[in-house]
Structure 1
Amino acid sequence: MDLRQLESFATVADSGSVSRAATALHLSQPSISRQLGLLEADLGQRLFERHGRGVRLTPAGQALLVHARTLLEGARQARRQLMDMNEEPSGRVVVGLPHRVATGLCVPLVERFRQQLPNAMISISEGLSLSLREDLIQGRIDLALLFDPAPTPLIVSEPLMRERLLLVAPHGTRLKPRVSLAELAQMPMILPSAPNPIRSLVDAVLLPRRIGLQIVAEVGAVHSAIALVEHGVGCSILPQSALLMAQQAERLPTALIGPPALWNRLVLAMPAARPLSRLQQTTAALLRQMDFRGPN
C-alpha cells in the first residue's frame, strides 16, 4: 500500500467512477484499475462494488477511506512544510476581504505582497463576511478579514480595528450632532438584511429596548444601502468606512448615535485546524500592518 494507490482509491471513491478519477488525476483508466487491483490484493479486501453507473464503496472501502484521507493530508502537510524551508516562500495564498475593505485595501495589499513575496502569488476573494467565514471554514480561502464573525471553535480570530456606527442621511438633511436611539425610530431606514453583522449589531441594541425602526428597505450589502441613501430613499446606520463607497460622501450628513454607542469589529480570521504555512504567516503579518481607517 503506497500513497499513489491511496490517492487513486480516494479519487475513485469521491467521484464514484474510475473514468472520472482517471480524468481528475490525468491518468489512464487501466492505470487506475491496476492501482486499485494492487491495493485490494495487498489488503485482501474488495474495496468497491461495480454497478452500471460506476462504483460504490464496500464496508471495507468505507473503513479504508477514513485512513486514506488522514495519510494523504499528512503527506500534503509534510510537502508544504518542506517547501516552506526555502529561503523565499512560494506558492499561492487566498485572502478573503469584505467588499468595502477591498475598496481601500486591495491595491496597497497587493503592492506590499509583491515587494515582500516576489516568488508567490496572492489571490483576493471578495464577498460578504458571512460567506467568507464559510469559505474559510471549508478551506476555500486561507485567511480572511471579517466583520463581527459569529464565534466558532473552527476559527481563530484577532481584532484589528473597532469602528463606530453612524446615522447617515440623504443630501440636505439637517441632523443634530448626536441622535438618541429613540430618535432613530422616527426616520425611514435602509438596513442590510439579517444576518448581516451590521444588522445584528443594531438589532442587539435596539430590540431589548423595544425600539422599532421604520425600515423602508432591506438590502444585501452596504454599498446598496449607501446608493439608496444618496438617492434620498431614507437613512441608514453604517460605519464611517462605508462612506468611501459613496459617490459624494462628503455631502452625506452624518450623526453620532447613542448612548450607548454602536461599534463593529474587523478581525483577522484564520483556520483553527489547519496550521499556517510560512507564506500564509507572512501574509497574515502584512494584513496586521495595513491601515483600515481611510482610503489607501
Structure 2
Amino acid sequence: MEMRQLYYFAALAEETSVSRAAVKLSVAQPAISRQLRLLEEELGVTLFHRTGRGMKLTSAGRFFDTRVRKILTDLKELEHDVREMKGVVEGKVTLGMPPTESHILVPPLLQTLRQNHPGVDLHIVEAFSGDVSELLTTGHIDVALFYKAPRTKHYVADELLHESLYLLGSGDKPGPSPDPMKVRDLAGRPLVLPRRRHGLRALLDQICNEMGVELDVAYEVDSLMTLIRMVETGEVSTILPFNAVQRDVAAGRITATQIDPLELRRILVLATTAHHPVRAAMRIVAQFCAQTVRSLAASGEWQGIIARS
C-alpha cells in the first residue's frame, strides 16, 4: 500500500468522481483509476460502487475512509510539528465567529498574521453563535469566538469581553436617550430577532422570562444584514451590539440606545477544538484573536468591558 493510493482514495471519496479528483490532485484520470484498482486488489474488497452518477463508497469503503482520513490528518500534523521545531509556524486554521464581530475583527487579525506568521492559512467561517459553537463541537472549526448562552455554558472557554446590547431603531426616529434603557422598556415594541436557536435570542428569552417581560417578536430573521435593513424601514426595531451598526449610526441610518448592562449583556468567549491536538498555528490564531479583541476594546473601537484574565 502506497501513500499516494491513500491520497487518491481520499480525494475520490470526497469528490465522488474520478474526473473531479483528477483535477483536484492535478493527476491524470487513468493514474487514479489504476491506483484504486491496485488498492482494491491488495485489500481484497471493493471500495466504491461505480454508478452512472459517479463513485459511491461501499460499506468497506466507508470504514476505510474513516481510517484513512485519520492517518492523513496525523501525517499533516506530524509535518507541522516537525517544522515548528525549527520555529516555523504554518498550517490551515479554521476560525468561526458571528458576523457582528467578523467585520471589525478580521481585517486587523489577518494583517497581524500576515506580518508575523505568513505560513498560517486562516479560513473564516461566519455564523451565529449557536452555529459556531455547534461547528466547534463537531470539529468543523479549530478556533471559535462566540457568545455564552444558556445552552453553551458547558464550554471551557476564556472570557474576553463583556459587551452591552443596544435597541436599534430607524434613523428617522427620535434620537436615543443618553441613559441606558431598562429591559422592561422593550415590552410592546415590534421587534425583528434571530430564531430561538441562536445565542442572542436564547439570552434575550432567558433574561426576559426571568424578569417577566414579554417581547413582541414580529419577525424572525437570521441574516444580520436583513435585520439591519428591516430596522431602517422604521417598522421594527432589533437588538444587537453597537459594533454591528456603528457605521450605520454614524451615517444617521440607525439609532442605538444602550440597554442597561446590569440587566442585559453578552460575554464573548474564545475556545479551541477538542477533536485534535492544539497545534502551534491554532495557538497563534487564538492568541492573536484575544489580543486583537482586547486592543479594539481598549481603543474604544469595540464597545465592551475587557474580562479579567
Question: TM-score by structure 2 length?
Answer: 0.75
In structure 1, the residue matched to 2:275 is: 273
Relative to 1, partners in 2 of residues 1:167 and 1:257: Cα closer, same or farther, differing over 3 Å? farther
The equivalent residue for 1:252 is: 255
Alignment length (residue pairs): 294
Q: 1:50 to 1:151 in 2, by over 3 A?
A: same
Tell me, in whole angstroms, the C-alpha distance in 1 between the residues paired with 2:258 and 2:42.
73
Return 5+ residue gaps in structure 1 as ranges: none
Distance 1:55 1:49 in 2: 6
Counterpart mapping for 1:57-206 below 5 A: 57-136=57-136, 141-148=141-148, 150-151=151-152, 157-169=157-169, 171-172=173-174, 175=177, 177-206=179-208
1:295 aligns with 2:301: yes
Partner deviation per Cα, 1:25-73 (whole Å, 9 max, x = no partner) = 3222332233233323433444445455555555544443333333222
For residues 148 and 66 of structure 2, what CA distance do their matches in structure 1 show?
A: 35
TM-score (norm 1): 0.78
Amino acid at match of 1:30: P
Does the 8 A contact of 1:219 with 1:225 survive in 2? yes
Residues 245 and 200 of structure 1: is their aligned pair in 2 closer, same or farther, counting only changes over 3 Å? farther
What is the distance in 1 between the residues matched to 2:263 and 2:191?
18
CA contact (8 A) 1:169 1:234 kept: yes
Amino acid paired to 1:67: R
Q: Structure 1 residues 116 and 6, CA, compared in 2 at 3 Å: closer, same or farther?
A: closer
- Counterparts of 1:224-235 in structure 2 under 5 Å? 224-229=226-231, 232-235=234-237
Q: How far does residue 205 in structure 1 lie from its aligned partner after superposition?
A: 1.8
Secondary structure at the counterpart of residue 7 of structure 2? helix
Q: Structure 2 unaligned segments of length 5 or more: list them.
A: 303-309
- The aligned residue for residue 237 of structure 1 is 239
Structure number, greater radius of gyration: 1
- Please report the RMSD computed on the Cα atoms of aligned residues, expressed in angstroms: 3.6
How far the C-alpha of 1:161 sits from its partner, in A, is: 1.0
Superposed CA deviations along residues 188-214 of structure 1, whole A, max 9, x for unmatched, are 434334333222211112235553223
Residue 160 to residue 185, structure 1, CA distance change in 2 (3 Å) = same
In 2, the alpha carbon distance for the partners of 1:229 and 1:59 equals 51
